[in-house]
Chains A and B, each alone.
Chain A
Amino acid sequence: MRYILKRIVTLIVTLILVSGITFLAFNVLPGDPALVMLGTDASPQKIVALRQELGLNESLPKRYVSWIENFVKGDLGKSIRFAEPVKDLVTKRIPVTFSLTIMSLLIIFIVAIPLGIFTAKKEGTVIDTVITVVCQINMAIPSFFLGIILMILFGVILKFFSPGRYVDYNQDFIGFLKYMIMPAIAIALPNISIVVKFLRASVIQQMKQDYVRTAYSKGNSENKILYRHILKNSLITIITLMGMIISEILGVSIIIEQLFGVPGIGSILIMAISTRDFPLTQDLVIYFAFIVVFINFLVDILYQVIDPRIRIR
């Protein structure tokens, strides 16, 4: 219990830090945000009006507090470029990004875990070397290039799917899923290699442990030992990795969304940045940061569940 409480405190502190830094970044660094947003040749009246609208004339701490208040209440203000309130823009898109992330994660684990264990089992053989090299190459391919290749391969040559023709999940759920598979694979592939690499190392190390020998002495087969005994111990390594991987997936999804024309939070972030829409960008960045911090928090808690040695503390 104490452990969880401690973690929650850290979570809140990190969130405050992150929001504070983001706020500073957008409101202090560029000098006068209104000026930057409108450009140098905007009329002074427009600038004053914008400053008024954004509440820029108030003191910094006051602005920060009111921003947080509004954020928590769900009022994210209005975007400058779009007429709609930010909130509406965003809520439509969250499920899209979320699905993409979940799909990628599923693909990663379904493929990487058996593959990692298999490679560890075959340590030293030709198959092991081949898989390791393939993974090395895989990690060197930028996700978006992978996306492009997948587009060429499946979109042009094999004509499995048509890039750009995104399907709304409200209208056709199956079609939505079918469209999302390509981007999910593009995100998943490099991460599969990373997980395989780490899992393989961890399993190989576990195989040398004494408790594995005890397990053999009971008459267990190799596969039973790998999946029943070793995997549990190796999972701990993977969970550490997971925090980092999710962070990376969220980052990469921004680019992939752009590439495949998926209307998620990532693509709107890009749009916001290109149009220098500070309030929108600010809020989206915070969304992202919050998700990442929260997921890391969950990963920490997961540690507790899996490893009984930490539990008692």
Chain B
Amino acid sequence: MKKHINWNLVVGLILTAFILVLMIIGFFYTPFDPNKMSVLEKFQSPNLRHLLGTDNFGRDILSRIITGTKTTLFVGTSTVVFGVFFGVLFGAIAGYTGGWIDELIMRMNDALTAFPGILLALVLVTVLGQGKYQIILALGIIFIPSYSRITRSGFLQVKELEFAKSAKVFGASPFRIMFVHILPNIYPALLSAITIGFSNAILAEASMSFLGFGVQPPDPSWGRMLSESQSYLFNAPWYAIAPGIIIIITVLGFNFISEGLRRKFG
């Protein structure tokens, strides 16, 4: 039997590992202080000292990108955790209880999906103010529907199966039913959705930061670097390219993993 390599998974894991390594390095070392400004070193194109060049304040771009990894991954992870937690919760309630609670939750889900995510994030940002945590809240809310939908369908499927009914007869608690019976059924779909969720979260955070509403200075953020670079496109294009490429690598990594998981579990 020919061994079938799951290329998507392999490439995805390599890319994501690269980003994770970058983040870990960032905890201990960056080539320069990411926030140190230096008028003399403004607008250097990539050279041996500053591998990715410097920005309009003379800050080393590479260091800013490495530090930005922490912020971005933090926001991404928090968003997904928030979304998954509430999504699974609502989905479980909807699937398990059924009836009008189910209907209500599903209608709210639909209303939420119909809304362009960015719009909702903007609304929340207007009302709650700008910053890291507001973004996490806004984006997290947007992600709830997809996770709740998956969880709910998992519940609905298993609810009907004989062994769940008999487990209930035996007095198994809802928690037990959920973890032992239902979770194994839905975890492939959930896992795939979570990895896509990561990449969407990172894209969304980058968009918000690009608009100026996301992560605030002095936290470096890839999205904000992109927006700052806009004015200098003509004299310093590398300033825009670096954060853009790193965003692409990160998102690609998660997308490939998600695709790989999808193929693996069918």
Contacts and interface: CB of A to CB of B under 8 A. Distances in A.
Interface of A: 14, 17-18, 22, 25-26, 29-30, 136-137, 139-145, 148-149, 151-152, 155-156, 243-244, 247-248, 250-252, 254-255, 258-259, 269-270, 273-274, 276, 278, 281, 285, 288-289, 292-293, 296
Interface stretch (B22-30, B161-169, B184-192, B252-260): B252-260
B155 interface: no
Contacts of A251: 116-119
Contacts of B206: 142
Nearest to A295: B114
A155 B116 CA distance: 30
A25 B247 contact: no
A273 B126 contact: yes
Interface in B234-249: 234, 237, 240, 244, 247-248
Contacts of B213: 273
A155 B240 CA distance: 15
Contact of A148 (B122, B127, B230): B230
Contacts of B240: 145, 148, 152
Given A17-B111, A142-B247, A148-B244, A285 B259 contact: no
A272 to B, nearest CB: 8
Nearest to A21: B111
15 contacts: A22-B123, A136-B252, A142-B210, A142-B248, A145-B247, A145-B248, A148-B226, A148-B229, A148-B244, A152-B237, A152-B240, A155-B233, A250-B116, A252-B118, A285-B123
Contacts of B125: 273
A292 B210 contact: no
A149 B119 contact: no
A281 B113 CA distance: 21
A138 B210 CA distance: 19
Contacts of B114: 14, 243, 247, 292-293, 296
A18 B111 contact: yes
Contact of A144 (B110, B210, B237, B252): B210
A152 B226 CA distance: 13
A154 B199 CA distance: 28
B14 to A, nearest CB: 14
Contact of B233 (A30, A148, A274): A148
A82 B55 CA distance: 35
Contacts of A243: 114
Given A18-B115, A136-B255, A289-B119, 17 more contacts: A18-B111, A29-B128, A30-B127, A140-B247, A140-B255, A145-B247, A149-B244, A151-B233, A152-B233, A247-B113, A250-B116, A255-B118, A273-B122, A273-B126, A289-B115, A292-B114, A292-B116
A140 B250 CA distance: 8
Given A14-B111, A141-B248, A152-B240, A255 B230 contact: no
Contacts of B248: 137, 140-142, 145
Contacts, number: 114
B101 interface: no
A251 B234 CA distance: 28
Contacts of B255: 136, 139-140
Interface string B111-148: 10111111100111111100000000000000000000
Contacts of A14: 110-111, 114
B203 interface: yes
Nearest to B250: A140
B58 interface: no
Nearest to A24: B127
A30 B123 CA distance: 11
B252 to A, nearest CB: 4
B212 interface: yes
A213 to B, nearest CB: 25
B11 to A, nearest CB: 9
Interface string B196-232: 0001000100110011110000000000001001100
A140 B199 contact: yes
B251 interface: yes
B256 A144 contact: no
Contacts of A296: 114
Contacts of B247: 140, 142, 145
